[in-house]
């Protein structure tokens, strides 16, 4: 217990210590690259016909982003569908079905990295590297570019443009993601993560049987999957696999990588809008929700399942689906980080978490992935809730709401309120659709309330662009591959396009100087209001269905009922 809390404190301290300077560095990159780097990017921009100094309106910025993602989707779909005809396929795996290729291509382009398949039994090395690793980089860079554009819009004074998407996306990849991924890859290999193009190894065990051991170019993919809040694993069990995450050191560094860029964006934002306190306030609100979530998850998992209590030594916790080297503390912390951050990689099987622990993971997603969230889009998702919060605060005191000196008016509120509908539609409406059309029952593994939780988690994960799963749920059927794909697509761009529109609209407005009547958005009062707004919006929407799933299950096992 003490050691678990010390590890948590160490994690938080290192996260802040790295995120603050990284945030400052990222703000410099988005302000325009220093001279030495121009030589690297100039030939690429020339070939692509891009003038990186030419700023775009929010519409052009959004269209560029959509065009880039559309081309990325088409290429990835083709690679997956025809991997059997392409090289680097030493296990001779077949091409993916159209539904699975559609689902997977959307999943990686939208930075969700939901996996309907088991990596080592489905994907050729070429698909993993050329297809998936590429999208791990550029889908993350897309989110980062969006955040940079939005921050510029909020900082602008009566200006119609928010930057150049191509420049922001390229620089996010070249100067932030790629150098970090190279360093992390080598550290992970040092810890034991394989990086090889050889086919699977075959061993003769001590008892004389054959063991086929899947290997591959693992480390390079794991590094970027964590840094880019992607989360799609090389192996079926993701980072619970000893080859993705062999030691407690690799575990610590991977957990750090999950949150660090998203956390740094708070500080980048503060610098870009010229008021560091604004960034700190957002970080504080995210931090409060993060600590609350960890506390709940840890308390849930350190407790013994009441059904198993007669057989298990007291105090050893719920170890089903967890690895000995991580234990309870590091499994709970990872799951908190990965569901908060829209990463979706796992080092323990959430399906086997105690009911309330699994519920907290799901609620983290359902809050809209704003507790650090995905790289870039976590920040912009939080800004949508900031707009809702200043609107509510404005209503309470009867003043026109303002944020960073910009008047928040009907257009902005309508756009922000629209995004609040995305999670309920994706989670509740699509789950209901699966149930009434008879497509839920065949895919859930467990009977009783847990079955409902499995279904809800799948649609929450897709809509939140998270990608983690209650893995007992069989998602690899045409219905779910199609609808989960639709949910991922709809949610990703359903958040991004409105926030870009808001940024464009605010950028064109006058910036009013702060007066005595201005509600400050950097103090503890605002942070509290923001946290409460997030929790109330989430709770009102999802509490009823949570009562039918995880809460009912927790009450059942406490009463000795199994299913």
Partner 1 sequence: MLTHIRPAIVLVGFFTLLTGVAYPLAMTAMAQAVFPAAAAGSLVEKSGTVVGSSLVGQQFTSDRYFHGRPSAVNYDASTSSGSNLAPSSSTLLEQVRARAAAYGGRNVPADLVTASGSGLDPDLSPEGAMMQVARVAAVRGVPEAKVGMLVQQHVQGPDLGILGEPRVNVLALNMALDEMKP
Tell me whether residue 443 or residue 533 sits nearer to partner 1 (CB atom): 443
224 binds partner 1 (CB under 8 A): yes
The CB-of-452 to partner 1 minimum distance in angstroms stands at: 11
Site string for partner 1, 258-297 (x = CB under 8 A): ----------------------------------------
Distance between CA atoms of residues 195 and 551, nearest Å: 43
Site string for partner 1, 74-113 (x = CB under 8 A): -x--------------------------------------
**Cβ pair 434, 455 in contact under 8 A:** yes
∠ CA 234-464-291 to the nearest 5 degrees? 90
Q: In Å, how far from its chain's centre is CA 217? A: 23
Q: Which stretch binds partner 1 (CB under 8 A): 173-181, 277-285, 425-433, 519-527?
A: 173-181
Instruction: Write the DSSP string, 28-62.
Output: HHHT---HHHHHHHHHHHHHHT--TTS--BHHHHH
The CB-of-9 to partner 1 minimum distance in angstroms stands at: 10
List phi, psi (to 5°) of 354.
Answer: -60, 155
Indicate which single residue of 336, 351, 366, 369 sits in contact with partner 1 (rule: CB under 8 A).
351
Tell me whether residue 194 or residue 270 sits nearer to partner 1 (CB atom): 194
421 binds partner 1 (CB under 8 A): no
325 binds partner 1 (CB under 8 A): yes
182 binds partner 1 (CB under 8 A): yes
Evaluated on CA atoms 118, 120, 121, 127, the torsion sign reads: positive
Mapped onto helix, strand or coil, the DSSP state of residue 217 is strand
Q: Which residues contact 103 (CB under 8 A, 6 or more apart)?
A: 114, 116, 481, 482, 484, 485
59 binds partner 1 (CB under 8 A): no
Q: Which stretch binds partner 1 (CB under 8 A): 240-248, 290-298, 380-388, 390-398?
A: 240-248
Indicate which single residue of 1, 200, 523, 528 sits in contact with partner 1 (rule: CB under 8 A).
200
Tell me whether residue 301 or residue 366 sits nearer to partner 1 (CB atom): 301
Number of residues engaging partner 1 in binding (CB under 8 A): 125
Indicate which single residue of 95, 149, 163, 217 sits in contact with partner 1 (rule: CB under 8 A).
217
48 binds partner 1 (CB under 8 A): yes
Tell me whether residue 267 or residue 326 sits nearer to partner 1 (CB atom): 326
The tally of CA atoms less than 13 A away on the side-chain side of residue 109 is: 26
Distance between CA atoms of residues 306 and 312, nearest Å: 10
Of the candidates 174, 173, 104, 180, which has an alpha carbon nearest to the alpha carbon of residue 140? 173
Of the candidates 277, 524, 521, which has an alpha carbon nearest to the alpha carbon of residue 391? 521
∠ CA 102-487-552 to the nearest 5 degrees? 125
Distance between CA atoms of residues 185 and 371, nearest Å: 26
Tell me whether residue 97 or residue 191 sits nearer to partner 1 (CB atom): 191
Please report, as residue ranges, which positions from 360 to 389 form the binding site for partner 1 (by CB under 8 A): none
Tell me whether residue 378 or residue 449 sits nearer to partner 1 (CB atom): 449
Tell me whether residue 187 or residue 392 sits nearer to partner 1 (CB atom): 187
Say if residue 47 is exposed, middle or buried (CB neighbours under 10 Å; 0-12, 13-18, 19+).
exposed
Distance between CA atoms of residues 508 and 529, nearest Å: 27
Distance between CA atoms of residues 154 and 384, nearest Å: 12
Number of neighbouring beta carbons within 10 Å of residue 324:
6
The CB-of-329 to partner 1 minimum distance in angstroms stands at: 8
Indicate which single residue of 38, 54, 121, 399 sits in contact with partner 1 (rule: CB under 8 A).
121
Tell me whether residue 329 or residue 394 sits nearer to partner 1 (CB atom): 329
The CB-of-312 to partner 1 minimum distance in angstroms stands at: 5
338 binds partner 1 (CB under 8 A): no
202 binds partner 1 (CB under 8 A): yes
Of the candidates 105, 380, 136, which has an alpha carbon nearest to the alpha carbon of residue 257? 136
Q: Which stretch binds partner 1 (CB under 8 A): 40-48, 372-380, 404-412, 487-495?
A: 40-48
Distance between CA atoms of residues 307 and 171, nearest Å: 53
227 binds partner 1 (CB under 8 A): no
Tell me whether residue 203 or residue 540 sits nearer to partner 1 (CB atom): 203
199 binds partner 1 (CB under 8 A): no
Please list the residues that pair with 406 across neighbouring strands: 403
Tell me whether residue 118 or residue 405 sits nearer to partner 1 (CB atom): 118
The CB-of-414 to partner 1 minimum distance in angstroms stands at: 25
Q: What is the DSSP letter of 96?
A: P
240 binds partner 1 (CB under 8 A): yes
460 binds partner 1 (CB under 8 A): no
Indicate which single residue of 85, 314, 397, 410 sits in contact with partner 1 (rule: CB under 8 A).
314
Please report, as residue ranges, which positions from 499 to 538 form the binding site for partner 1 (by CB under 8 A): none
Number of neighbouring beta carbons within 10 Å of residue 406:
25
Tell me whether residue 48 or residue 436 sits nearer to partner 1 (CB atom): 48
Distance between CA atoms of residues 125 and 18, nearest Å: 33
400 binds partner 1 (CB under 8 A): no
Indicate which single residue of 110, 111, 278, 352 sits in contact with partner 1 (rule: CB under 8 A).
352
Say if residue 36 is exposed, middle or buried (CB neighbours under 10 Å; 0-12, 13-18, 19+).
exposed
412 binds partner 1 (CB under 8 A): no
């Amino acid at each position: 217990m003490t050691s678990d809390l010390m590890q948590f404190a160490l994690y938080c301290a290192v996260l802040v210590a790295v995120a603050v300077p990284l945030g400052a560095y990222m703000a410099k990159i988005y302000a325009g690259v220093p001279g030495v780097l121009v030589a690297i990017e100039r030939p690429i921009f020339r070939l692509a016909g891009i003038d990186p100094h030419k700023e775009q309106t929010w519409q052009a910025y959004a269209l560029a982003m959509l065009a880039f993602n559309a081309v990325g989707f088409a290429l990835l779909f083709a690679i997956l569908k025809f991997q059997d005809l392409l090289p680097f396929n030493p296990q001779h795996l077949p091409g993916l079905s159209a539904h699975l290729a559609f689902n997977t291509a959307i999943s990686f382009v939208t930075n969700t990295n939901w996996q309907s398949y088991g990596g080592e039994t489905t994907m050729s090395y070429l698909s993993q590297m050329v297809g998936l690793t590429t999208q791990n980089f550029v889908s993350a860079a897309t989110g980062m570019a969006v955040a940079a554009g939005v921050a510029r819009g909020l900082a602008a004074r009566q200006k119609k443009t928010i930057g150049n998407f191509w420049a922001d996306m390229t620089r996010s990849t070249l100067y932030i993601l790629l150098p970090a991924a190279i360093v992390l890859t080598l550290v992970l290999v040092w810890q034991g993560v394989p990086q090889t193009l050889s086919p699977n190894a075959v061993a003769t065990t001590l008892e004389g049987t054959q063991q086929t051991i899947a290997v591959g170019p693992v480390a390079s993919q794991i590094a970027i999957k964590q840094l880019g809040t992607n989360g799609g694993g090389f192996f079926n069990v993701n980072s619970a696999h000893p080859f993705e995450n062999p030691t407690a050191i690799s575990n610590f560094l991977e957990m750090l990588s999950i949150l660090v860029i998203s956390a740094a964006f708070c500080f980048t934002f503060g610098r870009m809008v010229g008021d560091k306190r604004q960034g700190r306030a957002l970080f504080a609100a995210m931090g409060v929700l993060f600590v609350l979530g960890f506390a709940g998850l840890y308390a849930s998992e350190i407790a013994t399942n009441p059904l198993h209590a007669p057989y298990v030594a007291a105090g050893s916790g719920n170890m089903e689906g967890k690895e000995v080297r991580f234990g309870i503390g590091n499994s709970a912390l990872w799951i908190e980080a990965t569901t908060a951050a829209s990463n979706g990689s796992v080092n323990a099987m959430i399906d086997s978490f105690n009911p309330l622990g699994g519920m907290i993971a799901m609620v983290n997603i359902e809050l809209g992935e704003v507790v650090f969230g995905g790289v870039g889009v976590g920040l912009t998702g939080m800004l949508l809730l900031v707009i809702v919060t200043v609107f509510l605060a404005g209503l309470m005191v009867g003043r026109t709401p303002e944020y960073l000196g910009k008047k928040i008016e009907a257009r902005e509120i309508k756009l922000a309120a629209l995004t609040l509908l995305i999670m309920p539609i994706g989670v509740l409406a699509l789950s209901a659709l699966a149930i009434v059309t008879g497509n839920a029952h065949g895919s859930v593994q467990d009977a009783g309330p847990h079955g409902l939780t499995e279904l809800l988690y799948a649609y929450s994960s897709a809509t939140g662009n998270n990608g983690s799963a209650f893995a007992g749920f069989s998602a690899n059927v045409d219905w779910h591959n199609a609808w989960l794909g639709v949910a991922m697509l709809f949610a990703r761009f359903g958040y991004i396009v409105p926030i870009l529109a808001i940024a464009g609209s605010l950028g064109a407005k006058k910036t009013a100087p702060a007066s005595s009547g201005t509600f400050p958005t950097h103090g503890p009062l605002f942070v509290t209001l923001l946290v409460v707004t997030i929790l109330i919006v989430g709770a009102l929407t999802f509490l009823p269905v949570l009562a039918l799933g995880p809460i009912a299950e927790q009450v059942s096992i406490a009463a000795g009922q199994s299913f």
